[in-house]
C-alpha cells in the first residue's frame, strides 16, 4: 500500500492529482491512501508518514521549498515531488533532495512515471540516497551509488552515471557543495567524483572503477587524499560494527 500526500493551495489542482493517482494505482492493482493539504504548515504538522509527497511550490502562506526544508529535518527518506508552473527552481529542489519535478499542467503520464519510480525505490529499501537532476534528457532521478563523477567542460557539466552520460544545467561548484556530505570530493577544479568508485590513486591520477582516469591537481592533492582516507576509515568502521 502507498501512502501519498498532495499539498497545493488550489483545490482544483489537488482534485486533479488525486484522480490521476487513484487511476494509476487502480491500473496497477496498488492500494493507495491519499491525504490532502492546502497549506505547508498543515502538512508539516501532520503526524502521518508518507512514501511520497506531491508538493506545489507556489503557495501563499508557506511555499513548497520552505515546506520541504522543514520536512527534511525529520524525514530524510520521503520522496518529495515538486509540482510547479515554472522550471527555474531546480537548484532549490536539488538542495532538499527532491525526488521529482513536474511542470504544470500535470499530465497523467507524468504522474504515472513518478509513481512508478516511487514504487520501485520503495520496494528496493529506504537506505539509498537519491538525487534528481535537470539534464539534457529531462529530469532524472539517480541513485548516489551509481554516479561515477561529474566533469565541467565548455560551460557544461557532464555526469557519468551507471551506463549513461547526462549533461546537467548546473555549475560544478554547486554540484560539489550539495554532494560533498554524501561521499563526493573534488580532486581537480573541473571534477567532482564519487569516493565509492575510486579503484586507486596513482601519482596524480585517480583511477575509477569504470576505467576512467581523473586528474588530481597538486593544489588539491593533500585535501583530497585526506578526505578519501577519512572516507575509507569511516566506511571500514561501519563494516566492522555490523
Q: What is the CATH number of the domain that holds 83?
A: 3.40.50.2300
Is the domain of 196 the same as that of 106?
Answer: no
In a domain, 96, yes or no: yes
Domain boundary residue, one of 66, 100, 128:
128
Q: What is the CATH number of the domain that holds 184?
A: 2.40.50.1020
> What pLDDT, in 10s, does the model give residues 121-150?
776 554 567 787 888 877 787 888 899 999
Q: How many CB atoms lie within 10 A of CB 69?
A: 12
User: Based on C-alpha coordinates, what's the Rg of the chain?
Assistant: 20
Q: How are beta strands 205-208 and 198-202 bridged, if at all?
A: antiparallel
Q: How many CB atoms lie within 10 A of CB 28?
A: 11
Is the domain of 85 the same as that of 194?
Answer: no
In a domain, 133, yes or no: no
Is the domain of 202 the same as that of 237?
Answer: yes
Is the domain of 35 the same as that of 112?
Answer: yes
In a domain, 115, yes or no: yes
> What pLDDT, in 10s, does the model give residues 46-101?
999 999 999 999 998 899 999 999 999 999 889 999 998 877 777 677 778 888 88
CA 180 to the chain's CA centroid = 14
Burial classification of residue 103, based on how many CB atoms lie within 10 Å of its CB (0-12 exposed, 13-18 middle, 19 or more buried): middle
**Structural domain range at position 148:** 144-241
> What pLDDT, in 10s, does the model give residues 56-66?
999 988 999 99
Domain count, the chain: 2
Amino acid at each position: 500500500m502507498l501512502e501519498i500526500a498532495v499539498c497545493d493551495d488550489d483545490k482544483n489542482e489537488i482534485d486533479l492529482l488525486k484522480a490521476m493517482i487513484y487511476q494509476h494505482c487502480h491500473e496497477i492493482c496498488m492500494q493507495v491512501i491519499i491525504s490532502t493539504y492546502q497549506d505547508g504548515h498543515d502538512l508539516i504538522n501532520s503526524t502521518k508518514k508518507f512514501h511520497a509527497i506531491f508538493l506545489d511550490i507556489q503557495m501563499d502562506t508557506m511555499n513548497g521549498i520552505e515546506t520541504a526544508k522543514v520536512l527534511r529535518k525529520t524525514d530524510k527518506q520521503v520522496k518529495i515531488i515538486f509540482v510547479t508552473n515554472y522550471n527555474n527552481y531546480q537548484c532549490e529542489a536539488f538542495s532538499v533532495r527532491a525526488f521529482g519535478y513536474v511542470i504544470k499542467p500535470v499530465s497523467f503520464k507524468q504522474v504515472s512515471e513518478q509513481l512508478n519510480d516511487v514504487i520501485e525505490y520503495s520496494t528496493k529499501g529506504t537506505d539509498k540516497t537519491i538525487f534528481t537532476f535537470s539534464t539534457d534528457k529531462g529530469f532524472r532521478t539517480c541513485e548516489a551509488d551509481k554516479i561515477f563523477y561529474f566533469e565541467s567542460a565548455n560551460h557544461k557539466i557532464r555526469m557519468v552515471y551507471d551506463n549513461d552520460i547526462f549533461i546537467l544545467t548546473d555549475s560544478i561548484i554547486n554540484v560539489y557543495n550539495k554532494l560533498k556530505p554524501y561521499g563526493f570530493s573534488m580532486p581537480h577544479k573541473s571534477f567532482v567524483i564519487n569516493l565509492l568508485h575510486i579503484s586507486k590513486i596513482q601519482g596524480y591520477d585517480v583511477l575509477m572503477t569504470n576505467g576512467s582516469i581523473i586528474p588530481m591537481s597538486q593544489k588539491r592533492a593533500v585535501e583530497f587524499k585526506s578526505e578519501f582516507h577519512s572516507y575509507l576509515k569511516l566506511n571500514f568502521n561501519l563494516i566492522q560494527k555490523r
